[in-house]
Structure 1
Amino acid sequence: MGFFERQASARRSTKRLVLLFAVAVVLIVAAVTAVVMLSLAIANGSDVIREGGVAAWAGSHTSLMLGVALLVTASICLASWWRVHSLRQGGSEVARQLGGREVGEDCRDPLERRLRNVVEELAIAACLPVPAIFVLDNEPGINAFAAGYSPSDAAIAVTRGTLERLNRDELQGVIAHEFSHILNGDMRLNIRLMGVLFGIIMIGLLGRKLLIHGRGSGSRQLAPMLVGAAALIAVGAVGVFAARLIKAGVSRSREVLADASAVQFTRQSQGLAGALKKIAGLDQGSSLQTGEAEEVSHMLFGEWRGYSEWFATHPPVMERIRVLDPAFAVDKLQGLVDKWRHAPPQGLEEDRLMGLDGSVSQIDTVVLPPPDKQFRPYPGATAARVAMPIHDDARRASGLHHALPDHLIDAAHDQRSAAALVLAMLIDSDRAIQARQIAEVAVELDEDQADTVAELAPACHALHPALRLPLVALAFPALRRRPRPELESLMHCSDKLMRIDGKISLFDYCLSRLLRVQVLEALDPSRYKAAGKRKLKDCAQSLADLFATLVSHGYEDPAAMRRAYVAGLVAVLPAHRFQFNPPKSWVAALDHALADLDALDSAGKQLLIEGMVVAVSHDGRISVNESELLRTVCACLHCPLPPVVEQRARVRR
């Protein structure tokens, strides 16, 4: 199943969730209304007897019954809305509510450095911003989760047990599993599920509070309050039952898919299988001690407590292991249990025994191809790789991470210099234009930032094209933590730098727009919209503007431009006839076109990417520069395309 099929599957899961929620609400409203009416009937016993029984009494109070039903419905919906609103800040807020501590970019702890290194490499491989990283320090079990509305506000959290017990390969398998949830669109579904299900289980919480309050009431009020409280608790149990069924139905198949994607991502299945074996063989397993574990059970890497098959949000752990390691048997697991009972595994020690330093990349040297080197692309295969990183992508990403100059990585990790680093990538090579741009930074931001931009600009000019997007990805966590006014000033400044000489390069435009898209999503996570519903035929003008701009910047011969333009559009909309007419103001046209095309449905985006590859490579070849431009455009359209640059790397022994 490819990225676009997975996006469609996520939308179907969302629709199923809405339907199941509606059914659960109807059942709970009916049950609560019956309980309330029965409690009132008991409290008004003489009136009930006089009117001929409970049914007759309730029938004469239909307006009251309807009012109770509406009140319960409104309460459930309001509780769900409140919970979703409380999570509006995205993945980091979820991690903090579970007791997570954010791991800073300047961490020195070997376990945390290893975790950050693995997360950064896999983010580069997936062409995603580096997520916020959290550790649940008080959790000895092996577990992890990814949370957020979009990749721009995503957070990955791991338990202390995950850090300490897993070696680097196993940790990489777990983190790759969580990245699969980010790429598959599961995070958005999961965070919505948290809010929706809170409304359902809220009834039981109300019953418990009523029970506590009833114990302090007078004797006349005590009986009906106790009956009502007990009934609400019972109905609440039905709500919890329904919530667990919904979570199990929505998440179990997506966990299987995430396991498969993680293996494809990291090349080998033994890392992920090893992590699952440690969950199965250690006393703590994947358990969580936090009181909020029930709420996030559908997000977790492993089942946080034992449930029957009906309620399990994950397949049984032995079943997951056998899929990855068919030869593994129960007697082998017992051997591991006996071994670990006396000496629990230590991940860093296992790394050392394998000759690895888990906290750093094992790449020694990397040779990247010249920026003008060309290779033959395959449109269908390229589109199929969107959000589908494979083991070669993880290898390339490790090489790209290693190839980045240390002082630029330090600048990307530093909150004080991350913004200056991004702006330095937009600085022109012409000295006169440079001076004007630096002066503009001083006006828009401050003198210190302008000095830092001037200091970093030469290294950014010398940067290989394939290293630009990885560097932006590394800088994003530091940027994301800056106050909103600073980020708004940064976006405004990047726009001015790009336009200062009136000659805007397409790559600078796309980089500036990508920054704007990701920053805005990070500032207002809950406003992010997943794949849209628009059809290609409704976006014909936007397609024409995008393709005209791409070929105008990629070809010098007007005839070649027209041929590439027509070929690309025919691949997307074969029935349409387009005239090659590049927009006079291509920046404004592209602003509108990218926003319009980002709302396409999954099938439309897949065809769009195939068409872009056809247009850019109509001469039969595509350069490294062109491939990086294509990746940047895809990122603006929320279609992350993994690195496609071949490289030679030597592994440290």
Structure 2
Amino acid sequence: MNFFERQARARRTSTRLVVLFALAVLGIVVAVDLVVLVMIGPQPGPLVAATLGTIAVIGLGSLFRIASLGGGGDKVAQQLGGVPVPEDTTDPNLRRLRNVVEEMAIASGVPVPRIYVLEHENAINAFAAGYSPSDAVVAVTRGTLDRLNRDELQGVVAHEFSHILNGDMRLNIRLVGVLFGILMIGIIGRKILWYGRGTRSSGALAVFGLALVAIVVGSLGVFFGRMIKAGVSRSREVLADASAVQFTRQTQGIAGALKKIGGLESGSRFAQREDAEEVAHMLFGDGIGLSGLFATHPPLLQRIQALEPGFRPEQLTQLQARWLATPPDGLQEDVALGLVPPGELPQAGSALSVTPPMVAAQVARPHDDDYARAHTLVVSVDDALRAVATHRDAVMPLVLALLFDADEAVRAKQRTEIVGRLGTAIATEADHLHRTHLLTLHPMLRLPLASMAFPGLRRRARAEIGAFLDTVHAMVHADDHVSLFEYCLGRLLEVQLREALDPARHARFGRRKPGNVKQEFATLLSVVAWAGNPGDRAAAQRAYLAGMQRVLPRDHVPYAPPARGVLALDDVWEPLDALDPLAKQVLVEAITAAISHDGQVSVAESELLRTLCGVLHCPLPPTLEQLPRH
């Protein structure tokens, strides 16, 4: 099952969630009506009032909770007591965590998420939350940092990245909001009992009686909520374990983390169980100790044996005895592992051999070679430049410098746009970075740098981000000579930052079909073909037709060089991004076919392909020149 099929399945699961929620509401309404019947008798007025009141309480509760989570993953992490990990941290444990997350993000083709640590939780656990990769956060407990070695930490983080890439986060965060509503009646009952304790009047006793009834009826909400979470979560956790193994290409990491959960007294259960209840379906391990029908995760031993079939229960008992005497220390274990030697980047002028189906199969499906390439990319970035990418006050000039055009006249216009919106100091620093670091930068390092700078950009004030985005827009529209890559990089930054500013608004699954966006297909492919074959109309037409044959084989839309150049793409992004997931797969194949029509793809073209796919929310890993994946 590839990314596009998983997206289609996630959309169907969202529909199933709505149905299950409706059935849960119906069950609670019936229970309330039965109580009214017993207490008052079959009187239509009170029954209707009870029904409408119950629906109103549940609906308003859900809407309130959904609105409170509108800020995305940050809200979830903060409500659980998460502390952000600074981009420039020097703490060894936090630096190791940040390195792992950065490399995973680069390997996955998504922005580096915000990172949080739940300092008050000694259990081994983690979660990813957000509406999209642009507002995602990855949070781990202090126990995860202290007890896991780097391989095990990689396994846990890879598990969470599978949730980011598969669309699970969006469903999970909506599940929190929706299920809060069906718990509202019980919550109201408990609050009445709590605030009314000590009161002895006759009227108060009647209110307490109603509160007890609300708690009993509310227990139905707890029952339905746990059943829904278990039904949605369990199968996805199994898939996430498998994806983590596929990503890191070794089972020892995630299996080792699961063994430590089973072997240590703290396990994976949160100290603050009430807080963990709401997000139990998001967690890497069981956070509250539910089992049977209510279990949000498969049994721990079953998860370990799925990774290591020969593992026996008595081995877990032996680990428990050993770690009871000497608890594991992750950093000390790292000493014995050594470092993964970085590989080499392909030559900037080299050609890669890819096919459209191969590229489509890699979307949001990173493998071990992608992680190795991401490690190579990160260590290939000059230390001084990496320091700039992780410094809050330096990220704006750096990202703007990435957008500078090769033509000096265009660059002068772009610098003027920066001065007019952000000031001379930022323009001067961007120009300095461009001349000293970016002129000779390997083309494969531009997107990783932008990804590493993304958390710093997200931390700026909303007004500053708005001015920055206006500047990005002005730079890529400086004149018609802006390159396609610079235009698409600017567009990608706009998309990701706007989603991070208002994540709930941008969370959606597309439904459009290819036949409804024929002209948009033609415009995108004509721009790609024209940009890849400047001055050679015949070659550009062949590239265009190769792409159109993939996406609209029965339609004849003649090739026409784009009169506005790359600016013609301004009108195509929204309708193309709204395509049905399976239609997007065809679009990715069409773009690849147009770029690779001559049988090979340059490194620069591969980065353009990754940027185009990023704008369309189809993240590509950094390694395209590999065997097809199964």
Q: Match of 1:289, as an amino acid? A: A
Residue 547 of structure 1 corresponds to 525
How many residues align? The count is 623
Q: How does 1:178-327 map to 2 (within 5 A)?
A: 178-212=160-194, 219-290=201-272, 291-327=274-310
CA contact (8 A) 1:545 1:586 kept: no
Measured in 2, the distance between the counterparts of 1:614 and 1:501 equals 28
Q: How does 1:455-494 map to 2 (within 5 A)?
A: 455-458=432-435, 459-494=437-472
1:344 is aligned to 2:327: yes
Q: CA deviation at 1:33?
A: 3.2
Q: CA deviation at 1:469?
A: 0.7
Cα-Cα RMSD: 1.6
1:560 is aligned to 2:543: no
Q: CA deviation at 1:433?
A: 4.0
> Aligned with 2:572: secondary structure?
helix
Q: CA deviation at 1:566?
A: 1.4
Q: CA deviation at 1:563?
A: 1.8
Q: CA deviation at 1:501?
A: 4.4
Residue 416 of structure 2 corresponds to 439
Residue 599 of structure 2 corresponds to 620
Measured in 1, the distance between the counterparts of 2:34 and 2:199 equals 23
Please identify the structure whose Cα radius of gyration is greater.
Answer: 1
1:65 is aligned to 2:44: no
Residue 103 of structure 2 corresponds to 121
Residues 43-94 of structure 1 deviation map (CA, whole Å, 9 limit, x = unaligned): xxxxxxxxxxx3xxx33xx123212211210111111111111111110111
Q: CA deviation at 1:532?
A: 0.2
> Aligned with 1:146: secondary structure?
strand
Q: CA deviation at 1:498?
A: 2.4
Q: Taking structure 2 as the reference length, what is the TM-score of the superposition?
A: 0.96
CA contact (8 A) 1:286 1:302 kept: yes
> Aligned with 1:310: secondary structure?
helix
Structure 1 stretch displaced more, 210-219 or 243-252 = 210-219
CA contact (8 A) 1:466 1:645 kept: no
Q: CA deviation at 1:217?
A: 5.4
Measured in 2, the distance between the counterparts of 1:438 and 1:407 equals 23
Q: CA deviation at 1:272?
A: 0.3
Measured in 2, the distance between the counterparts of 1:88 and 1:164 equals 32
Of residues 454, 459, 471, the one that matches 2:431 is 454
Structure 1 stretch displaced more, 63-72 or 366-375 = 366-375
Residue 585 of structure 1 corresponds to 564
Q: CA deviation at 1:588?
A: 4.2
Q: Match of 2:623, as an amino acid? A: V
Measured in 1, the distance between the counterparts of 2:231 and 2:210 equals 31
Measured in 1, the distance between the counterparts of 2:393 and 2:518 equals 43
Measured in 1, the distance between the counterparts of 2:315 and 2:297 equals 22
Measured in 2, the distance between the counterparts of 1:5 and 1:177 equals 19
Q: CA deviation at 1:497?
A: 2.0
Q: State the percentage of identical aligned residues.
A: 53
Residue 363 of structure 2 corresponds to 386
> Aligned with 1:145: secondary structure?
strand
Q: CA deviation at 1:400?
A: 0.6
1:177 is aligned to 2:159: yes
Structure 1 stretch displaced more, 12-21 or 118-127 = 12-21
Residue 31 of structure 1 corresponds to 31
CA contact (8 A) 2:405 2:482 kept: no
Residue 576 of structure 2 corresponds to 597
Q: Match of 2:6, as an amino acid? A: R
Residues 149-185 of structure 1 deviation map (CA, whole Å, 9 limit, x = unaligned): 0101000000000000000000000000000000000
Q: CA deviation at 1:227?
A: 2.7
Residues 336-384 of structure 1 deviation map (CA, whole Å, 9 limit, x = unaligned): 111000110000001112334xxxxx335x4322222112211111101
Measured in 1, the distance between the counterparts of 2:60 and 2:16 equals 21
> Aligned with 1:292: secondary structure?
helix
Measured in 1, the distance between the counterparts of 2:198 and 2:569 equals 67
Residue 507 of structure 1 corresponds to 485
Residues 374-409 of structure 1 deviation map (CA, whole Å, 9 limit, x = unaligned): 122111111011000011000000001111111221
CA contact (8 A) 1:208 1:233 kept: yes
Measured in 2, the distance between the counterparts of 1:371 and 1:465 equals 7
1:641 is aligned to 2:623: no
Q: CA deviation at 1:218?
A: 5.9
Measured in 1, the distance between the counterparts of 2:215 and 2:107 equals 48
Structure 1 stretch displaced more, 88-97 or 523-532 = 523-532
Q: Match of 1:425, as an amino acid? A: L
Q: CA deviation at 1:123?
A: 0.3
Measured in 2, the distance between the counterparts of 1:7 and 1:348 equals 37
Measured in 1, the distance between the counterparts of 2:56 and 2:568 equals 45
CA contact (8 A) 2:354 2:625 kept: no
Q: How does 1:87-166 map to 2 (within 5 A)?
A: 87-166=69-148
Q: Match of 2:422, as an amino acid? A: L
Residues 433-477 of structure 1 deviation map (CA, whole Å, 9 limit, x = unaligned): 434433331221012211210211121121111111111100000
